[in-house]
Amino acid sequence: MPRTREAKDALFDAFSSVAKAMASGRRAEIIDVLAQGERSVEDIAAEIDQSVANTSHHLRLLARSGLLRSRRSGTHVFYRLASPRVAELWTALRDVAETHVAEVGVLAADLVGDRSDVEALHPDELARRIEAGRVVVLDVRPHVEFEAGHIAGARSVPIDELPDAVAGLPRSREIVAYCRGPYCVKADDAVRLLHEHGLRARRLDTGYPEWRHAGLPVETPDDHPG
């Protein structure tokens, strides 16, 4: 075999190793979780409903492929995406599947249910409304994800805390809720709860990772050193 053929085979095998690493629904879900920010192995296991042992196996495989980085703090190991490009890869993979795999639309509809009662807002429009001071933005993800990064000016109100927080929300402005992405139903649930209490509310039609990737204003721990 010519040397150039061997080199080309090796190069394309290396390219495909990334796809191989993500060739598991659970590993794809891990990437989706870590697109929100760094998490411990135990937290990730709880999010994807797997044992810590199984989750650790998936995480190590993703790390060996170069997609994740890890650090140890005491007895806990934390994982994060190796770079923002990994989140972009996940978004691109998801978009291709939505466009070309018919089954995805059916499965997505089964997951999110009927959204006809929940109006969505495009990120660009939300950015304009935030700048004009016309909305209250609620981040209904867990606090740990909010702390890792969030839409600039958003309030952290995890969905399970929202019933107790409703009374303190202003009625003079519209409320926009967001969560992890287009297939996260926490924002839908938040909007329905707010409607039940007579508040004007919509959901962001994407999530925090897509907002950040679009270059819209975010706040991260680096913005508040010390």
Catalytic residues: 179
Task: Put residue 169 in one of left, alpha, beta given phi > 0 → left and psi -120 to 50 → alpha.
Answer: beta
Alpha carbon separation from 210 to 88, 131, 140, 150 (Å, rounded): 9, 19, 16, 11
The beta-strand segments (E) located in the chain are: 39-40, 68-73, 76-81, 120-121, 135-139, 150-151, 155-156, 174-179, 201-207, 218-219
- 90 residue type, one letter: W
